[in-house]
Homo-oligomer: A and B are copies of this chain.
């Protein structure tokens, strides 16, 4: 039995564990936590930054409570490296994981994200992850995260349009949904794209990342502590974190 803990790095209580409960069973259990202090949604570098401190604390608490793997549920992968420093169980971000799968499912992928201002951020991330040669483009739908739910139908329309442009003009053959909140739209997008002669896989990262984190836990692999050693002890007024308990 593997417990995967979802850290949703926002103060808005976006639900991911419940909709993914269909993945649970005798082998897999999901947990979830949100932030008390941090951004309501993540749409700029400042949001990425202030999402970080409590995400790290939440991850430490999750491991202390028995999590076997942790998923940071935001496509921008806030604090991903700092979380890996802080804990020993495997930690995946849904952004990094989605890009690696996208690279395996086709030749070139495009990321569809919420706002124009986020484009460079994802280009940078693809480069940091080493996947820039697989990135066809980042395209946007100009929808703030907190508006997606109320605006579901028209967001879907814009995603399909953006995907079509990415496929036809940019040469993408795989589409990555660039916000965790676009969930439930992947299959509908695939159908509507296929109906236009543009059948490609559309990756909604959270379920895939949960199973990937579970795969790491089951095969007893985690990130390299040589790459991500525990932070050195020192004064950090205002940013003390819970101690990590020894794992059995």
Contact = CB atoms under 8 A, between A and B. Distances in A.
Contacts of A85: 44-46
A44 B86 CA distance: 10
A180 interface: no
Interface in A208-229: 208, 211-212, 214-216, 218-229
Q: How many copies does the complex hold?
A: 6
Interface string A192-222: 0000001111011001100110111011111
Contact of A173 (B25, B92, B224): B224
B130 A103 contact: yes
Contact of A38 (B44, B129, B144, B237): B237
A226 to B, nearest CB: 4
A50 B50 contact: no
Interface string A147-187: 00000000000000000000100010110000000000001
Contacts of A224: 105-107, 173-174, 200-201
A244 interface: no
Given A38-B237, A46-B82, A104-B97, A218 B174 contact: no
Interface in A66-94: 79, 81-82, 84-86, 90, 92
Given A50-B238, A106-B223, A200-B224, 15 more contacts: A11-B235, A38-B239, A39-B236, A44-B232, A45-B84, A45-B228, A50-B239, A52-B52, A100-B103, A106-B224, A130-B132, A201-B221, A203-B221, A208-B219, A211-B218
Contacts of A207: 218-219
A142 interface: no
Q: What 9 pairs across the A-B complex have the smallest Cβ distances?
A: A37-B238, A211-B215, A106-B224, A106-B227, A50-B239, A107-B120, A173-B227, A40-B235, A45-B81
Contacts of A19: none
Most buried by B among A23, A134, A235: A235
Contacts of A201: 221-224
